[in-house]
Structure 1
Amino acid sequence: MLLELLQGGDSGGFLLIQDTANYSGRHLLKSFINAALRRDEEVHVFCFETSEEELKEGFQEVQRLHIHNAYEDPLGWTKKAVFTVQQFSLNDLTRVIKLTPHQKTPIVVIDSLSWVLRHVCTTAVCSTLHQLKKGGFVRAIIGLLHADMHQKGTVGSVRHLSTSLITVTPSIMGDNCQAKITKRTKSGKVLQDEHTFSIKEDLTVMLLKSSNTAPQQMVQEEHEIDPTANLTFNLRLSDKEREAKEKLSLPFMFSKEKKKAILHSGANLGRILYEPDANDDFDQEDPDDDLDV
């Protein structure tokens, strides 16, 4: 599945590369950029953590690579920045991209989303990514996220927007990398795969080991909790208890004899009969004595 994603099979989606301090996903991000350039794609890279010189290292074709430098002055302190983190919005992103004429719908690469999330609220970032993905102005979005820099809620919000997620971790096989891939299809299915790979000097990916997982229906990431699991009483009935329950006569269910007596019309129809018992203390001279007035 990794080679399929590198070949541009995730058109119109949002591909998220998630890494930690244990292993950097920047080399894999550059492999996706390199693969897109070899397909003659127009690629716009918004750099926040990498300089332009460092980003271009290893690329043989840079004619269709458009770099928007937010690395030198990301907060706009010098007032001369090409792009700042405060400009991470749909209007500013599209404005900057439209400054370059394109023959094809471009691909947007964000290096990295973690830097943006440190200075812009999560809601605004997710809203911009969603609008950019659904607007049809770009072919695809590729982003890098450092998961150990954020709270789980922030990471989960960004992951929820992605159509393909690649989580990179160090492999036990030398200096290689292990990638866990989750791809959500338009039909609602989830495809999962695991790869052990290495990245060559020319930024091409070489697969060393693959473990395919059959497609499965969309499931919740967290297991459903049974609310009756740890109760101190039983909510379910045994066969004997269910049989006794069915034989029980409820107070609002009348027998045939009682129904016949109630529905029987006679001379005393509509009369109310009261028979006082021994506990009644009724004073004929003062009927309102019990009202305490």
Structure 2
Amino acid sequence: MTLFKLKAAPIILIEDDTNKNILPLLLNIVQQEKSELKMFCFEQPETLWKPVLKTHMNVIFYEDFCTEEYNKYINTKCTVVIDSLNQMCFSIGWNECLRCLKRLYIDPNVNKLVMVLHTDCLPFPKLQLNLNHFACAVVSYDSPDSNKIKVKLKKGGKLERSEEILTYDYKLGLLKCVPVVKESKKDDEPEKPLPANLTTFKIEVDQTEKLEKYKLKLPYMSKINEGESKVFYEPDAVDDWDEEDPDEDLDI
């Protein structure tokens, strides 16, 4: 599901470093695009990208981006891939690079914009922050685990975050994305307080007090036989027996 949502995003930022292989993910994003693929090779030359993108029929390579000749690059429906934004910023400057990205974003001929950013060699401190705000989807590779990615998707004013494990079958050329399920740590949950700890007086009875309670014999218990219960009443001398109607003075 994450790959499907990722492919549907119009602006995708892939963050990696020199130790990560982004080709399986990049190819999975652009391989089903029917429009032309415009590849801006600021870092790797065209000779290295051609065998990688051989399955995509309509590929046009550029090794520069001249803002004065913008219409020469984007004149038909296309998917734009920039490799990489680091070198593009060094080539034309960050301000000019940002203007080009905004122009590509609003251009009706650009179906999808895929940008590659190397986080281990950022040319400008705020470059990554601005690009994260600009992109609709951000894919970040985990530092220790090269198969683990973090995905941020923006849609309808909402931000979805997830962690995924990528698996790639080189024989079939299939990329799978499995979400990482975080286990809840029960040890970190606070213990429920005992009722005895909620009061300033003692409300529980220990074992010794229970034994003393069972040994206690009340006066009426000597009159109770086993198997049946009876109540014996012996009137006292001070008892006043009045056989008259106690309610005689009431008009009932």
Q: TM-score, normalised by structure 2?
A: 0.63
The AA in structure 1 aligned to 2:91 is H
**1:110 correspondence with 2:72:** no
Deviation at 1:97, TM superposition (A): 3.1
Partner of residue 156, structure 1: 129
- Please identify, of 40-49 and 189-198, the stretch whose mean Cα deviation from structure 2 is larger: 40-49
The AA in structure 2 aligned to 1:204 is L
Distance 1:46 1:200, change over 3 A: farther
Distance 1:196 1:171, change over 3 A: farther
- Whether the 8 Å contact between 1:111 and 1:144 is mirrored in structure 2 is yes
5 Å-filtered alignment, 1:11-26, equals 13-26=10-23
Distance 1:119 1:66, change over 3 A: closer
Deviation at 1:117, TM superposition (A): 1.3
Q: Deviations over 1:149-196 (max 9, x none)?
A: 114312111222111100113564xxx5111110111x2100111111
- Alignment partner of 1:118: what SS? helix
Q: Partners in 2 of 1:191 and 1:135 — Cα distance?
A: 26
5 Å-filtered alignment, 1:72-87, equals 84-85=64-65, 87=66
Partner of residue 198, structure 1: 167
The AA in structure 2 aligned to 1:190 is L
Partner of residue 129, structure 1: 101
Q: Partners in 2 of 1:170 and 1:177 — Cα distance?
A: 10
- Whether the 8 Å contact between 2:74 and 2:109 is mirrored in structure 1 is no
Deviation at 1:31, TM superposition (A): 3.0
- Whether the 8 Å contact between 1:126 and 1:157 is mirrored in structure 2 is no
- Please identify, of 163-172 and 24-33, the stretch whose mean Cα deviation from structure 2 is larger: 24-33
The AA in structure 2 aligned to 1:120 is I
Q: Partners in 1 of 2:105 and 2:138 — Cα distance?
A: 15
Partner of residue 213, structure 2: none
The AA in structure 2 aligned to 1:9 is A
Partner of residue 249, structure 1: none
User: Moved runs in structure 1, 4+ residues, more than 3 A?
Assistant: none
- Whether the 8 Å contact between 2:168 and 2:176 is mirrored in structure 1 is yes
- Whether the 8 Å contact between 1:26 and 1:144 is mirrored in structure 2 is no
5 Å-filtered alignment, 1:212-231, equals none
Q: Partners in 2 of 1:56 and 1:119 — Cα distance?
A: 22
Distance 1:58 1:21, change over 3 A: closer
Q: Partners in 2 of 1:129 and 1:156 — Cα distance?
A: 15
Query: What is the root-mean-square deviation of aligned Cα atoms in Å?
Result: 2.5
The AA in structure 2 aligned to 1:192 is R
Q: Partners in 1 of 2:142 and 2:61 — Cα distance?
A: 28
